[in-house]
Amino acid sequence: MTVAIREAKDDDAERLHELILAGLEDKTSEVYRENVDKFGIPEDYVRRAFSREALMEAVADEKQLFLVAVDDGNLVGFAQTILQDGSTAELDRIFLFPAHTGRGIGTQLLDKTLEILKKEGVIKLTVKAGRYEASARRFYEKNGFQIIEEVTVHAPWGRDLSLAVYELRVRG
C-alpha cells in the first residue's frame, strides 16, 4: 500500500502526541533510546516538545509546514519545517516510528516538503544533524544536502551538542 503524505490536522497532532509519549514510556524502546537517551535530553523537555499544545501550535503556525505520513490509516511519521525568512526554511524535525524506517517514507516526506516549499518560493532548506548521527547524515547526503559547517551549540537542557549543518537548494 502507498503511504499518503499530507498536511497535518489537529487530530494528527493529538495522535502524534499520544504515540510519541507511549514510546517514551518504555525506556528500552528505540524511540526513547534514539531521541532522549542518545542526546541526554531531560524527559520533561521532550514531553514539552511533543506536548499536545506544542504540536497543535506547530500545525496552526503559518510559518511552519507540518506534514504527516499515513500508512493504511496509521500515522507513521512526520516532518516539520519552519520558515526562517522569505527564502530559507529549516527542517526542524523529521521523524519515523521505528517499525516504518527503511521503506523510503522519510524520503517521501522530504520530497513532499520540497515540493510545497518550492511553490512557496523558498530557495534553500537547512537542517542540523548530530555530528555523530551516521544514519541521519547519510539520509540528508543521499537526498542532496551539502554540509556547510560543523558547530557546537549549547542545548537548552545544558549540554553541548556537536552538529553538522546541511543545506539544500530548493530552487534557483
Q: Checking DSSP bridges between strand 124-130 and strand 160-169, what pairing results, if any?
A: antiparallel
Give the span between the Cα atoms of 77 and 71, in whole angstroms.
9
pLDDT one-digit tens code per residue, 127-171:
999 888 888 899 999 999 999 999 998 888 788 889 999 999 998
Spans of all domains in the chain? 4-169
| Per-residue model confidence (pLDDT) at position 23 | 77
For Cα atoms 44, 113, 20, give the angle at the middle one, nearest 5 degrees.
25
Residue ranges of the alpha helices (H) in 27-87? 30-32, 43-49, 52-60
CATH of domain 4-169: 3.40.630.30
For Cα atoms 10, 13, 18, give the angle at the middle one, nearest 5 degrees.
130
- The three cell numbers locating residue 71: 500508512
Nearest residue to 86 via CA among 125, 124, 122: 122
- The three cell numbers locating residue 9: 490536522
pLDDT one-digit tens code per residue, 45-91:
888 888 899 999 999 999 999 999 999 999 999 999 999 988 999 99
E-assigned strand segments in 54-156: 64-71, 74-83, 88-96, 124-130, 146-154
DSSP run (H or E) holding 80: strand 74-83
Q: Checking DSSP bridges between strand 146-154 and strand 4-7, what pairing results, if any?
A: unpaired
Answer whether 77's CB lies under 8 Å from 68's CB.
Answer: yes
pTM: 0.90
Residue 29 identity: S
